[in-house]
Structure formats: C-alpha cells, structure tokens
A and B are shown apart, each in its own frame.
Chain A
C-alpha cells in the first residue's frame, strides 16, 4: 500500500491485537498490568493522599480515587496511570486532519488515543472516548516500539497523539515519542494545552509539533464550557514557543459563545504579540454535539469575519477549517500572495514549495516541510 492509496482509502485500522481489555458492557477483563505504570508527575501527601502535578487542576486524590481525567488512580498512596499503551482508537490520518498545515503536508500520521481527558468541553466531538474511563472502552495494547513499527509499516511520517487528550496519557507519549524518534518516525501532539510546565517541557524535548485547541479567548467560556482556565492555556502556548517546538492553533468558533469581534480581536492581538505573526491560526467550524446540541453550526461568514480580523492584524497564516473547498484552506505566500499549498479538504491538490521557500518569490515559509508529499 503506498501513501496515496492509504490516504485515499482513509484506512481505519482494526484494533491490532487481541490482548486488550474487554468491552464496557458484558465482559470486563481482569486488569492488564501492562497498562498500569506509576505516574510521573505527582507528589505524595499525608493520609495516603496524592496531589497530581500533571495539569493545572492539581487534583488532590484520596486512596482508591481517580483524578478528574478518570485515567489516573491513587492506590495506597502511589499514583498510577491506567492508560499506558492502552489504545482505544487507532487510525491512519492525513496530517491535515489534525490540522497541521505547516508540517509535512500530504503526509500520513499514525493517530492514536487512549480514554480520558482533563477537561470536559460541552462541544466535544469525541466525548465517547474522552469522557470515558479506560475500562469502559475496548482497548488494545500497543507498546511504544510496536507503535513506532506500525507507523513505519503504514508509511506514516509521524505518530499523532490525538482524539482525546494526550496530556492524560503523558507517560505513554514520552516513551512512544522516544521509540518513534529511534525508528525515524516523528511525533505530533493534538492537545487542549491544559498542562503544567514540567510535563510540557518533557514533551517538548521529544515531539516535533504541537497543535493546541484554544477553545476561546475568555475566562468565562473556559469556566462554563470547558471546565478549565484560559491563562494556563496561554501560558502553554508561550512555553511551546520558548521551547522551540513547531505549533499551530485551532480556534473552534461557536455561535454566540466565542464568536464576537472583540473576542477575535483580543485573540489575534495576543497571538501576534506573544507568539508572532507566523503561527498558523485555524478558525474552524463548529458542529452541534455532546452537550451543545442546541446551537447551530457556525455560519461560514463568521469564520470569514474572524479571518478578516486576523488578516488585518497582520497574521500571515490564517485558515478556515471544516469548510471543504474554501479558498482559506490554502497556504498563501505572505509576500507574493501566490498559492503555495492548495488543499481540497484533507487532500493536497498542488504544492509550490521548494525546501521551505515560496516557489515563486523564494520567501521562506515557516514550518517543518521535510517529509511532505511530492506531487
């Protein structure tokens, strides 16, 4: 199977071994010790309590209890991840689906997830896995080396940790990224960015790109819709830049909740000031799901309004997402305005980049272009 064929058929991998946990209903399997490893980021407290230091929530957890994420458990005063190599979803996706537009365009990403998430977004499209506990899902064991080998076999340039929230399966991400690097496979993380600095630093040492879902530019939205907080996520974005990892931002525009001109202006000013004009910013279309079924899909003009505000602020790479065929899916040269990457949904129709420069005017285009599709 070549890369193009894989892209065309969007291969959904069957769960890859029979060694995983049982289904949520009917057949709970005995716990598989391979899934359970001591957590890396926590501190012990009196009376067998622990304080999780993975994300800013800092759950204080009693013996036998789990953190907010539902995948980390205190057992007798020692904190464990229950989702090491416990993969509940595995697909070969185009990297454009993440979306990462300045990272090896047209390449494949071997994409995996475990159960769990450290926030609870009311618009989550993957709530069946992100809001579940690991024992409630069918899973399979894919140890780091096996994951790297599967990525290579599927001609994937990268492993993508995605769908749910990689922060909560951090130990697995760190080891798998090491294994991938040793096998010549890169790693990309798709995250809400709700993470403390120490684990983020460890992650940034190992992965090649991070896409952050910036859910809104207001604390009210983060408090009421996400159950998280905005300053922590902004801190993460700034830290990723400081650590030198390629990053892109997605902003899901939701009618009436985070789509005002003022909010868009605040967002793009912050991005330009704190991260610079070259960070790709994707305004994507909301579809009703989970606990936000009462709102309509985002009108395309809303996304165009957001893009116009970002363009006017001077951001160089502003995209519109979840609107297949929209011209703002393409990458344009900020200098000569010619199309550099022409996209149709997740497919690359044309590429005019020469070693990271505009084919027409030689303007350097920021990103990681090695491994991109050659048409």
Chain B
C-alpha cells in the first residue's frame, strides 16, 4: 500500500551499495572448483572422528600441507569470524549440528582466532536455542547471536530482484564468514545448502521463495557483504534429508556420515543437489523437476550476471575422500 507515506532511504546508501557490487571480485568463470565429499568410512561419528573428517574436508577444499595450514589460508589471527549456521528446523539433523560447530571453532582457535572473535549466528536467538546452541554475547568467549538480537542495517542493500536489510552481525561484526549449511530438501526451492543459507542474513526471506527461489537466492548472495565476506562452506551432510524439508522429518533422512566442503557455493550446491536426486531415485520419490521444484537458482547463480561459481560438472573437481 504505497500511497500513504511513512518514510525512505538515502541515495548515498544506494550508490554505495551499487559501487560495492561493481567492485566485488567476480569468481573466475573457467577455473575448476573443488568440492570435497568427506565421509566417515565406519559410519560412526563422534567428536574425535568428526574433527578428523573436518580436517580432510577443509584440507581438500583449501589445500595446504596440513589441516592447520588449510585453515590459515581461510582466516587470519585478529579477524572476527562468523559461522552462519542453519537452525530453522530446530533440534535434529535438519539443523547444523552443534558437534560440527564445536569442531570448526576448535580448529579456528588453533589457527589463531581468539574465542571472543568467533560468532555463531542465524536469524533468531530462538532458532539457535532450539537447535541446541545457547545464545550468549559474553566478551572473550564464543558468541552465539541471532539477528533479532544484533539488529539489521537501516539502508537497503539491493541487487537484481533482491532489496533487503542485512544483519549487522554480517555487515559490522564479522570480517570473514564460513557457511555451515545442511544438506536437505526444500519444499519450495528444491534444495537448500550453501547459497540459500544466506537467506538467514536478510530481514525479509519470506519475499524470496516465489518461483522456487529464482532469481532471489542468487540475487541475495550477490549483496556485497555476503559475496565479499564468505570464504568457505562446510555443509553438514551427517544425516541429510531427501524429502519433506526444510522441517526435520527423520523418516526422510538417511545416514550419510559426511561433510561437503567447497569455496564455491554453486559447485557445492550442484553437487549436493545431485546427491539428493540420487537418493530420491533410490527411494522411488519423484525427481525435483517432476515435483516442480527443481533448484534452477543454482544455474542462475552461475550465469554471466552472477558468476558466483560453476554448475558445470566438467568444471567441478569432485573429490570423494
């Protein structure tokens, strides 16, 4: 209802957002992207085994002679590092596992990040709490904070069809962000993993689910603070869900005992999508295309306007370890 005015946004803010978008570094279009699928051979995950799985995944995705060196390629001491988890589904394997978050925090601290410079964040304090994290902002310790507690910017960030207020945790608190999504089906968008995880960084994700999230998922990820600050994605594929998502539906999840890591969110999402499709076929569930929710936003994110990564299988170096 536009005719009764309440207020507006500055031209300067818009200009700043556009300029930042223009300066954002495009991913090299033809470079091969590595996607690591690390699985536990014994299908028995505990904290120690998860740490080893994480080491293999991150070293595979980032290179280096050791896992520690791989982490040091991602973050530097003194930086504030945000871990963007996905807690919408509450407790259960459809939310990022607290055990995985603990493991990532442990390795980041070994790489020189102080506990007080680690921020685990998602949309709401209540979402974090329901997934097993305790919201906390004690200085000197790892912080767990929802956007509702931290707040949003007052100037709109825009790209394409996206126009949103961004979480101040992303824009002001964090220097670097690591995405920790979950491998799962999504009832509207087809699948949700690395790209769509950042719907949790904007104030209005409800506006972006039309047309199976296309082009909104890709457009939101193009917002400069997201594109500039996110350095790595580690997808929780311990017990993925091939149907009924994003809610936790245990009868549609299966033990995969894996982590999928990549610096390329498009390649990761494409790879994860294929895993979901194979499981759906195994279980006799219609493909996502047949279910009319093929995640076409993945191809959109790879197009010439977005260049967020590659969805070309020939350009994805898929490492199963």
CB within 8 Å of B: which residues of A? Answer: 24-26, 28, 47-49, 60, 62-70, 89, 93, 97-99, 111, 117, 120-126, 128-133, 135-136, 162-165, 190-192, 213, 227, 250, 252, 284, 287, 289-291, 293, 321-322
Contacts and interface: CB of A to CB of B under 8 A. Distances in A.
A284 B3 contact: yes
6 contacts: A28-B124, A62-B245, A65-B247, A98-B4, A284-B3, A291-B158
Nearest to B125: A28
Q: Closest 4 A-B residue pairs measured CB to CB?
A: A25-B151, A125-B5, A63-B247, A70-B206
Nearest to B8: A289
Contacts of B246: 62, 64-65
Contacts of B124: 28, 135
B2 to A, nearest CB: 5
B5 A120 contact: no
A321 B5 CA distance: 13
Contacts of A64: 88-90, 246-247
Given A67-B206, A291-B158, 4 more contacts: A26-B149, A64-B247, A111-B4, A125-B7
A47 B244 contact: yes
Interface in B1-50: 1-9, 11, 14
Contacts of A191: 1
A25 B2 contact: no
Interface string B63-105: 0000000000000000000000000111000000000000000
A163 B187 CA distance: 32
B214 to A, nearest CB: 13
Contacts of B90: 64
Contacts of B273: none
B177 to A, nearest CB: 20
Nearest to A254: B2
A191 B90 CA distance: 36
B149 A162 contact: no
A133 B4 contact: no
Interface of B: 1-9, 11, 14, 88-90, 124-125, 146, 148-152, 156, 158, 163, 168, 187-188, 203-204, 206-207, 209-210, 244-247, 249
A66 B206 contact: yes
Given A63-B247, A124-B2, A68 B206 contact: yes
Nearest to B211: A227
Given A97-B4, A128-B7, A252-B3, A62 B187 contact: yes
Contacts of B203: 131-133, 136
A26 B149 CA distance: 5
Main secondary structure of the interface of B (DSSP, over half): loop
B6 A163 contact: yes
A51 to B, nearest CB: 12
A126 B9 CA distance: 11
A89 B1 CA distance: 14
Contacts of A227: 207, 210
A42 to B, nearest CB: 16
B187 A128 contact: no
A57 to B, nearest CB: 8
Given A24-B151, A24-B152, A26-B151, A190 B206 contact: no
A252 B206 contact: no
A136 B148 contact: yes
A164 B5 CA distance: 10
A47 B148 CA distance: 29
B76 to A, nearest CB: 29
Contacts of A131: 203-204, 207
A290 B148 contact: no
Contact of A28 (B6, B149, B245): B149
B150 A126 contact: no
A162 B4 CA distance: 8
Contacts of B3: 99, 125, 190, 213, 250, 252, 284, 321-322
A287 B149 contact: no
A344 to B, nearest CB: 18
Nearest to A125: B5
B150 to A, nearest CB: 7
A125 B4 contact: yes
B1 A192 contact: yes
B239 to A, nearest CB: 18
A374 B202 CA distance: 50
Nearest to A31: B126
Contacts of B8: 125, 289-290
A289 B149 CA distance: 28
A25 B245 contact: no
Contacts of A133: 203-204, 206
A163 B207 contact: no
Contact of B148 (A111, A122, A135): A135
Given A25-B152, A62-B245, A120-B207, A128 B2 contact: no
Contacts of B206: 66-70, 133
Contacts of A322: 3
A48 B248 CA distance: 11
A126 B2 CA distance: 6
A226 to B, nearest CB: 10
Which among A49, A66, A120, A287 has the highest number of chain B CB atoms within 10 Å?
A120
Given A26-B149, A67-B206, A129 B6 contact: yes
B207 A125 contact: no
A223 to B, nearest CB: 10
B321 to A, nearest CB: 33
Contacts of B163: 122, 290-291
A262 B7 CA distance: 32
B6 A126 contact: yes
Nearest to B164: A131
Contacts of B210: 68, 227
B151 A125 contact: no
Contacts of A136: 148, 152, 203
